[in-house]
């Protein structure tokens, strides 16, 4: 069964003025769709054809099947990204996640500093993540299509730092883009849902 190219969780202009509809036209409508289309073409009729997306990612990674992995992981990462942002995002986390952030990073500002370092420190293309690992919360960066799904941790939030994610709106100012995500777009409700789901499954 083909991998679905899922709809955005909001209108294409819903993140303006922070992320423009033009950026989403290219980032979601062109880049993300291309990953899904290339993946479906590559898996048609093969051993991955009846697997779900996360299973494909893990199997392709284990088999060093780079082409399949890159497109599958990018398809998954992008769907996760759209939910990591919200039109009414920003603010402070609440509940158990807020407590875990305070325990790990001291306070929200401590988390923001670590996330900013990860996003700005990722050379070239990649991602910054808030994850739940076996040792608790952590902030990590991954290069290119890499994803925490294959490294034993549970993603809670992500930000795409490939240039196509921000260049139309921020040009070379990755730092401004990261700060805008943290202050205006981050979807703490989504992160809390992922955090609680992981705790319930443990």
Tell me: cis bond preceding 140? Omega within 30 of 0 counts: no
Length of the chain (residues): 202
Domain span(s) for CATH 1.10.287.990 in the chain: 21-84
- Does domain 95-201 sit in CATH 3.55.40.20? yes
Q: Which residue has the tokens 């284990």?
A: 62
Instruction: Identify how many contiguous H helices and E strands the chain contains and give both numbers.
Output: 9, 3
DSSP 8-state secondary structure symbol assigned to residue 196: H
Whole-prediction pTM: 0.95
- Does domain 21-84 sit in CATH 1.10.287.990? yes
From 86, 93, 126, select the one nearest 108 (Cα to Cα).
93
CA distance 145 to 116: 19
Kindly list the averaged pLDDT for each block of 10 residues, start to end, along the chain of length 202.
94 98 97 98 94 97 97 98 97 95 96 98 95 94 97 97 95 97 98 85 61
């Amino acid at each position: 069964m083909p991998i679905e190219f899922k709809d955005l969780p909001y209108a294409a202009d819903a993140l303006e003025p922070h992320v423009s509809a033009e950026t989403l036209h290219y980032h979601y409508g062109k880049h993300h769709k291309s990953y899904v289309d290339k993946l479906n073409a590559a898996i048609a009729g093969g051993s991955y054809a009846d697997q779900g997306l996360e299973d494909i990612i893990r199997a392709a990674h284990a088999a060093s099947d780079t082409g399949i992995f890159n497109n599958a992981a990018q398809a998954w990462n992008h769907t996760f990204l759209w939910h990591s942002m919200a039109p009414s995002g920003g603010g402070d986390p609440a509940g158990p996640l807020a407590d875990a952030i305070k325990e790990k990073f001291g306070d929200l500002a401590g988390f923001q500093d670590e996330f900013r370092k990860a996003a700005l420190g990722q050379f070239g293309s990649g991602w910054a993540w808030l994850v739940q690992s076996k040792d608790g919360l952590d902030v990590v960066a991954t290069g290119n299509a890499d994803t925490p799904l294959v490294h034993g941790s549970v993603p809670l939030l992500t930000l795409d730092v490939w240039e196509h994610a921000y260049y139309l709106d921020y040009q070379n100012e990755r730092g401004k883009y990261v700060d805008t995500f943290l202050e205006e777009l981050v979807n703490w409700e989504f992160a809390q849902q992922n955090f609680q789901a992981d705790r319930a499954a443990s």
